[in-house]
C-alpha cells in the first residue's frame, strides 16, 4: 500500500485556507439552541442485564436533532463510588452501536463510556437502532454524504452533529459522571464528529480524533481513492452545475473548520497510507486545531490507523488527563 498523498513534512506544513460561511457560528448557535429548547422527553437510561458482573450497562434513548430519539449504550464500571470521568464515543461510517455486552475498553479502565448510535446507519455491524426520519434527497448518491446537500438546513450531518452534542449534554446531567471530565472520541466519521463537538461544546476535558473523516472536505473529495469521500465526487460528476452550492453546504460541516473553534486538549492519530481519509486532510484539522494538541503518526498504515496501538496511547493519555482534573476545574457552560 503506497503513499498516495503528501509527505509528512508537507502535511505538517499545510494550512489550507478553508472557506468560512459568514453565518457559520450563528447557524450552529441557532441549531443547537433549537435542539436544546425542544419539548421532547428527557434522556432515558434503562439498566440491562448483560451477564457481565464488572460492568453496568444502560440502554440509552435521548432527544437529538428536533427531539428525535437517538440510541446509545452507557457503560459504567461496577462498584464505582464517585463521579467518573466519561468517554463519549462516536462511530465510524456505517457502524451501529452494537450489542449490549460489546465495547468494554473504557469501562474496564474505570471510566464511564457513552457510545452513540448513528442515525440511519448500522449496515456494517450489528445494532444500528436509530432511524433517520428525514427522506434522502432525490438524485442523491447512495450513502450519507449527499443527503440533503442542497442546503445546510437539510443536510444529514446537521442532524448527526446535533445528536452528538446532545449526547454530551445528556451525560453531563448524570450523577455518576463528573461534567468537567468528559472526553469525546471516534474513528474516521466518529473522529470528524468528535472534532465538530469539540468546536461546538465548551468545557470538554479532551478530544481524541483517530484518522478523522470530514476534514478539508473539498480536498478529500478531489483526492480520496475510496469511499465515502468519493460519494461527493460522484454526485458532482452527475450534477455538474451544483459544485458551488454543494461546497457551500459542506463548509458548515468541515471538521477542520470546527477544529479552529476547539480549545480542549487533543490527541490525534493519522495514517500516512490512508486512501479513505487522506493524511493531508487529517493534518488540515490538526494544524488548525486551536487548543493544545499532540498527534501519533502511523507511517505504514492505511485507514485502520494505529488500532490497538492507538488504544494504548489513548488509555495512558486519558488516565493522565483525568488525574490532572478535579471536579469543577475545567468548567463548562
How many whole angstroms separate alpha carbon 262 and alpha carbon 184?
Answer: 12
Hey, which residues does 60 pair with through a beta bridge?
A: 45, 72
Phi, psi of 60 (to 5 degrees): -110, 135
Q: Where does residue 101 rank: exposed (0-12), middle (13-18), buried (19+ CB within 10 A)? A: middle
Which neighbouring-strand residues pair with 182? 86
User: Among 37, 100, 89, which residue's Cα sits nearest to residue 63?
Assistant: 37
Active site residues: 188, 274, 303
For residue 227, the tally of other CB atoms under 10 A from its CB is 18
Report residue 288 as a C-alpha cell: 488548525
The strand pair at 177-187 and 206-210 is best described as parallel
- Buried-exposed string 66-76: b where 16+ CB fall within 10 A, e elsewhere: ebbbbbbbbbb
Torsions phi, psi for 4 (to 5 deg) = -125, 5
- Residue of 198, 177, 218 whose CA lies nearest to 263: 198
According to DSSP, the residues that pair with 186 across neighbouring strands are: 90, 209
Using the 8-state DSSP alphabet, how is residue 83 labeled? P
Amino acid at each position: 500500500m503506497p503513499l498516495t498523498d503528501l509527505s509528512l513534512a508537507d502535511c505538517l506544513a499545510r494550512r489550507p485556507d478553508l472557506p468560512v460561511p459568514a453565518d457559520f457560528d450563528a447557524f450552529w448557535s441557532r441549531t443547537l439552541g433549537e435542539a436544546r429548547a425542544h419539548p421532547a422527553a428527557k434522556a432515558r437510561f434503562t439498566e440491562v442485564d448483560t451477564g457481565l458482573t464488572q460492568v453496568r450497562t444502560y440502554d440509552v434513548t435521548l432527544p437529538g436533532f428536533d427531539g428525535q430519539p437517538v440510541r446509545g449504550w452507557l457503560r459504567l464500571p461496577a462498584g464505582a463510588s464517585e463521579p467518573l470521568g466519561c468517554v463519549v464515543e462516536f462511530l465510524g461510517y456505517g457502524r451501529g452501536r452494537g450489542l449490549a455486552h460489546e465495547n468494554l475498553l473504557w469501562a474496564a479502565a474505570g471510566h464511564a463510556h457513552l457510545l452513540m448510535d448513528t442515525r440511519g446507519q448500522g449496515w456494517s455491524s450489528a445494532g444500528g437502532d436509530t432511524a433517520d426520519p428525514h427522506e434522502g434527497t432525490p438524485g442523491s448518491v447512495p450513502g450519507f454524504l449527499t443527503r440533503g446537500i442542497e442546503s445546510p438546513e437539510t443536510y444529514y450531518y446537521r442532524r448527526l452533529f446535533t445528536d452528538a452534542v446532545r449526547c454530551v449534554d445528556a451525560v453531563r446531567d448524570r450523577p455518576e459522571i463528573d461534567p468537567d471530565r468528559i472526553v469525546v472520541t471516534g474513528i474516521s466519521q466518529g473522529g470528524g464528529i468528535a472534532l465538530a463537538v469539540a468546536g461546538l461544546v465548551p468545557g470538554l476535558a479532551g478530544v481524541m480524533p483517530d484518522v478523522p473523516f470530514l476534514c478539508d472536505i473539498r480536498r478529500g473529495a478531489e483526492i480520496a481513492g475510496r469511499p465515502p469521500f468519493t460519494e461527493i465526487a460522484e454526485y458532482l460528476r452527475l450534477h455538474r452545475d451544483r459544485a458551488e452550492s454543494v461546497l457551500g453546504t459542506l463548509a458548515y460541516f468541515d471538521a477542520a473548520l470546527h477544529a479552529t473553534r476547539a480549545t480542549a486538549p487533543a490527541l490525534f492519530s493519522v495514517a500516512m497510507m490512508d486512501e479513505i481519509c487522506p493524511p493531508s486532510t487529517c493534518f488540515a484539522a490538526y494544524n488548525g486545531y486551536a487548543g493544545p494538541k499532540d498527534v501519533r503518526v502511523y507511517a505504514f498504515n492505511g485507514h485502520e490507523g494505529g488500532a490497538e496501538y492507538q488504544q494504548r496511547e489513548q488509555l495512558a493519555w486519558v488516565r493522565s488527563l483525568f488525574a490532572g482534573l478535579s471536579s469543577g476545574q475545567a468548567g463548562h457552560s
